[in-house]
Copies of this chain bind each other. A is one copy, B any other.
């Protein structure tokens, strides 16, 4: 497995242009109103280029999500507690949920857009939930839950907690700027679950 050839300079430039154009459009319009052609036009490239770089509409959204999630990913992997390693599971979960909600509230459109993309995917429906961001988050939360409450079905509960972001009514909440409400709700859920570590109120 040697070093793989670097991406050509023009290709890299176009990738950035596309990413930025998509970001911009997604900020201005409803996710299902943003077509790949529009993105391509806004980025000043041909439609084909977008598909060459990102494979599919879903692929583009995924790339965007990875970019936005990177900071949080690093923080939970190696940042300072309580987000990063070092704090007790209980606290790390609460910290993560807060951070997750904050991040999500800044990117509802993107999440929705990705969902929409997967739903309308024409080609290979592929193995769903191949979303690396979701996987990473789920693995993290799942592991923490398992450590804090070995008797629970950690995998499932983690899906329940994280999956809330893919919930349309919940997404609406974020859209309406009520992210604090979601954060509070998740906190009380988590607190109840993780046992009497701290009072619900």
Contact = CB atoms under 8 A, between A and B. Distances in A.
A167 B163 contact: yes
Contact residues of A: prevailing secondary structure: helix
Contacts of A164: 159-160, 163
Interface stretch (A9-17, A46-54, A70-78, A148-156): A148-156
> Which range contains the number of A residues in contact with the other chain?
35 or more
A201 B170 contact: no
7 A-B pairs with least C-beta separation: A163-B167, A119-B119, A192-B192, A156-B185, A159-B169, A192-B193, A153-B185
A115 to B, nearest CB: 7
Contacts of A3: none
Copies of this chain per assembly = 2
A188 B194 CA distance: 11
5 contacts: A32-B125, A128-B172, A160-B167, A189-B193, A192-B192
A104 to B, nearest CB: 14
Contacts of A119: 32, 115-116, 119-120
A92 to B, nearest CB: 19
A129 interface: yes
B189 A160 contact: yes
Given A116-B119, A120-B119, A185 B160 contact: yes
A173 interface: yes
